């Protein structure tokens, strides 16, 4: 057995898969270290297995002691875990308004914090802890009527997202001994980004303040959705500084070219499935370590479920076939043929007129 992510073979691990031999046969088992914090990046074109691999990691973290896995699920790929025979809880998350700082409020609403409505929203966020309080503060503000009206409209938009309340998701939920799945499948990118920003900040702050003895693992599917919005700065902090207090962050994306270069360079565990876009390949190639000899693109796998794993901790490269999931995978793309049998039993309506 080979353990990716550490040199010494002690502490908890989780099974990733097996070595893939040149002739396609199965080799030695390959595990991932979950004892220490890591920054991971799982990449691959659509259908190559990246979300499946993230689910494999989630399964392993459920079984590991001393960790608190949290999965950000913008596509509903992890919701089947709620009915599986594992310790997992699917929640429709909400956050406190003051979980976002004034700058983040302006970012999530697309406002300039130094002008007009943006300046008013900044001040409201500085003065009030709740969204209702912010809306009342803006309504009573001593400002031009057009500015007050614009700021009020933006805050009304935020209220329509239905993600802000006075309590928000509790730290006991995020840092429990089970997998917490944050189901964001019904949310647009801005409210989803606001939740991720708040959760990433809460996990980091909880470890800094030693409010939890479990080491959080934040798993983010479709990470490219969040890299250019309100969650950008909190994710960057986890990537660059999270390992010191013990927060791991694993991002999965089909567009590594959309992930900030800082994230790619800070990654100590890269799991690369099949890629065909040169922009995406070049983004990884630019951060290629010196010990990865040869052409990076030529070493990428061709088969779904296979991966090139780069372990910066031990400066090694592995060709791996990811193991099969023990729980349902919700990221499968539906096909018309899946419904053909049912459709065949439905009598089509023929009530048509010729005019």
Of the candidates 162, 227, 150, the one whose C-alpha atom is nearest the C-alpha of residue 196 is 227
Question: Span 152-160, mean pLDDT?
Answer: 98
Instruction: Tell me the percentage of the chain whose pLDDT exceeds 90.
Output: 74
Confidence of residue 353 (pLDDT cuts 50, 70, 90): very low
337 lies in some domain: no
Look at residues 96, 130, 110 and name the one whose alpha carbon lies nearest to residue 230. Answer: 110
Task: List beta partners, residue 111.
Answer: none
- On whether both 44 and 189 belong to a single domain, the answer is yes
Q: 87 and 27 in one domain?
A: yes
DSSP states along 95-119: B-GGGS-HHHHHHHHT--TTSHHHH
Is the pLDDT at 10 greater than 90, yes or no?
A: no
The string of pLDDT tens digits covering residues 210-253 is 999 999 999 999 999 998 899 999 999 999 999 999 999 999 99
Q: Are residues 134 and 267 in the same domain?
A: no
Instruction: Look at residue 333 and tell me whether its pLDDT is greater than 80.
Output: no
CA distance 296 to 270: 12
- As a whole number, the mean pLDDT across the chain is 89
Find the CATH number of the domain harbouring 67.
3.40.50.300
Q: Which residues contact 183 (CB under 8 A, 6 or more apart)?
A: 73, 76, 78, 79, 90, 91, 92, 93
Number of domains making up the chain:
2
Q: Is the pLDDT of residue 277 over 60?
A: yes
Q: Where are the alpha helices (DSSP H) in the chain?
A: 50-63, 102-109, 116-127, 131-139, 145-160, 171-174, 189-208, 232-241, 261-266, 278-286, 296-299, 340-344
Q: Is 33 exposed, middle or buried (0-12, 13-18, 19+ CB in 10 A)?
A: buried
Residues 102, 89 share a domain: no
Cα–Cα dist 296/308, whole Å: 10
Residue 330 lies in a domain: no
The answer to whether residues 71 and 110 belong to one domain is no
Coil vs helix vs strand at 120: helix
The whole-model pTM stands at 0.90
Q: How confident is the model at residue 298 (pLDDT cuts 50, 70, 90)?
A: confident
Whether residues 76 and 212 fall in one domain:
yes
Are the beta carbons of 119 and 153 closer than 8 angstroms? no
> Which structural domain, as residue segments, surrounds residue 135?
98-161
Length of the chain equals 355
Say what the pLDDT of residue 161 is: 97
Mean pLDDT across 277-285: 89
Q: Does the pLDDT of residue 355 top 50, yes or no?
A: no
Shared-domain flag, residues 110 and 77: no
Structure-model confidence comparison of residues 4 and 259, the more confident one? 259
User: Are both 152 and 194 inside the same structural domain?
Assistant: no
Place 352 in a pLDDT band, splitting at 50, 70 and 90: very low
């Amino acid at each position: 057995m080979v353990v990716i992510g550490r040199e010494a073979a002690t502490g908890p691990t989780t099974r990733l898969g097996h070595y893939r031999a040149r002739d396609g046969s199965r080799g030695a088992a390959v595990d991932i270290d979950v004892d220490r914090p890591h920054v991971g990046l799982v990449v691959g074109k659509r259908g190559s297995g990246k979300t499946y691999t993230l689910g494999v990691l989630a399964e392993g973290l459920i079984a590991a002691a001393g960790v608190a896995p949290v999965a950000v699920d913008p596509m509903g790929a992890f919701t089947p875990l709620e009915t599986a025979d594992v310790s997992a809880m699917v929640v429709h998350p909400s956050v406190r308004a003051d979980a976002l700082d004034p700058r983040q409020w302006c970012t999530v609403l697309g406002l300039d914090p130094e002008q007009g409505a943006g300046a008013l929203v900044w001040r409201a966020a500085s003065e009030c802890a709740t969204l209702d309080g912010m809306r009342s503060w803006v309504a009573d503000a001593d400002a031009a009527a057009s500015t007050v009206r614009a700021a009020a409209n933006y805050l009304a938009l935020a209220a329509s997202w239905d993600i802000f309340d006075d309590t928000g998701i509790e730290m006991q939920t995020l840092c429990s001994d089970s997998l917490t799945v944050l189901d964001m499948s019904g949310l647009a990118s801005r409210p989803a980004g606001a939740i991720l920003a708040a959760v990433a900040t809460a996990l980091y702050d909880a470890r800094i303040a030693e409010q939890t003895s479990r080491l959080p693992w934040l798993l983010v599917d479709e990470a490219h959705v969040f890299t250019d919005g309100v969650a950008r700065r909190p994710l960057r902090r986890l990537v660059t500084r999270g390992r010191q207090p013990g927060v791991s962050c694993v991002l999965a994306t089909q567009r590594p070219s959309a992930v900030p270069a800082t994230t790619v360079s800070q990654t100590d565990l890269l799991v690369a499935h099949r890629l065909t876009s040169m922009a995406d390949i070049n983004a990884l190639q630019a951060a290629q370590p010196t010990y990865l000899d040869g052409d990076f693109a030529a070493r990428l796998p061709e088969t779904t479920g296979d991966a090139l794993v780069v372990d910066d901790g031990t400066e090694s490269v592995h060709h791996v076939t990811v193991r099969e999931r023990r729980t349902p995978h919700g990221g499968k793309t539906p096909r018309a043929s899946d419904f053909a049998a049912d459709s065949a039993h439905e009598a089509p309506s023929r009530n048509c007129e010729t005019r």
